[in-house]
Amino acid sequence: MKNLFNIEGKVALVTGGSRGIGEMIATGYVENGAKVYITARKAQACNETAERLSKIGTCISLPFDLGTMEGIEALAAELAKREEKLDILVNNAGAAWGEPIDQYSEKGWDKVVDINLKGPFFLTQKLLPLLRKAGSAQNPARIINTASINGIEPPALETYAYSSSKAGCIMLTRHLAKRLSKEHILVNAIAPGPFPSEMMKATLETLGDFIRAENPLGRIGTPEDAAGVAIFLASRASAYTTGAVIPCDGGAAEV
């Protein structure tokens, strides 16, 4: 029982791993002995985060733009050159766009849906060979999608594509879980609430006190909160869990 949460020696890929919740998850994995690849669109930020995390474990930067099929295919090909299998895929890269409903742009909609929903599906598709090699009945491979509580309850903010894409991410998680279960690949999602991230920066600066006051636990999330759920979903502790969506929001229903 004491090794239920052990992920030492596993190979993980965390998209959007240079900052925010992706960096929190990557840090938790690195500190607990996994070999972690991180990817992000901005090469400098990705390289800097990997260099910092390499001081406490193994972290490798593979910067690619996952908002395009070219970037997705290139990342999958590069990882296949380096690894024979992939134990953990964390589809965390995300984008948000807010505009009043009467002005909401097609550009914003397409950008958000491409990164938040299209990207996770096609990256999963391209990495299935590596995930299949890693999974067994006793030790399944893991796919962990970062959804959002805004995909469960509609937010007050006018972020229509974001909430819709995250709701789609939840259904995609369940659909993939059903399809891939017999191939020894578990698929689950984390639905974060408010965390200190670049995406939430402006909201926390203007509404931070209100969000904390309304949150049942009276605070926003910490790196340990995000990493804890991600470690659970990557370890033996969750080997009988698939198709689940785990809120990590302090009990809040919306932002």
Q: What is the CATH number of the domain that holds 40?
A: 3.40.50.720
User: For residue 48, what are the domain limits?
Assistant: 11-248
Provide, rounded to the nearest whole percent, the portion of the chain with pLDDT above 70: 99
In a domain, 255, yes or no: no
Examine residue 6 and state whether it is found in any structural domain, yes or no. Answer: no
Residue 224 confidence (pLDDT) above 90 = yes
The predicted model gives 32-50 an average pLDDT of 98
Task: For the chain, give the number of residues.
Answer: 255
Is 3 inside any structural domain? no
pLDDT bin (cut points 50, 70, 90) of residue 197 is confident
Domain count, the chain: 1
**Does residue 222 lie in a domain region?**
yes
Q: What is the pLDDT of residue 207?
A: 75
Mean pLDDT confidence for 186-207: 84
pLDDT value of residue 112: 97
Please give the single-letter amino acid code of residue 151. G
User: Token pair for residue 216?
Assistant: 């049942």
pLDDT over threshold 70, residue 255: no
Active-site pick, 29, 37, 162, 240? 162
Is 92 among the domain residues? yes
Average pLDDT over all residues of the chain:
95
Q: Are strands 245-248 and 141-146 parallel, antiparallel or unpaired?
A: unpaired
The answer on pLDDT for 253 being more than 60 is no
Q: Is 126 helix (H, G, I), strand (E, B) or coil?
A: helix
Residue 127 lies in a domain: yes
Strands 11-15 and 185-192: unpaired
Q: Known catalytic residue: 162?
A: yes
Q: What does the pLDDT read at residue 164?
A: 98
- 254 within some domain: no
Which tokens is 189 given? 């999602």
- Edge to edge, what strands does the sheet with 88-91 contain? 58-61, 35-39, 11-15, 88-91, 141-146, 185-192, 245-248
Specify the 3-state DSSP secondary structure of 143: strand
Using the predicted structure, report yes or no on whether residue 150 has a pLDDT greater than 90.
yes
State the SS3 of 35-49. Answer: EEEEECCCHHHHHHH
| Region 10-15 average pLDDT | 98
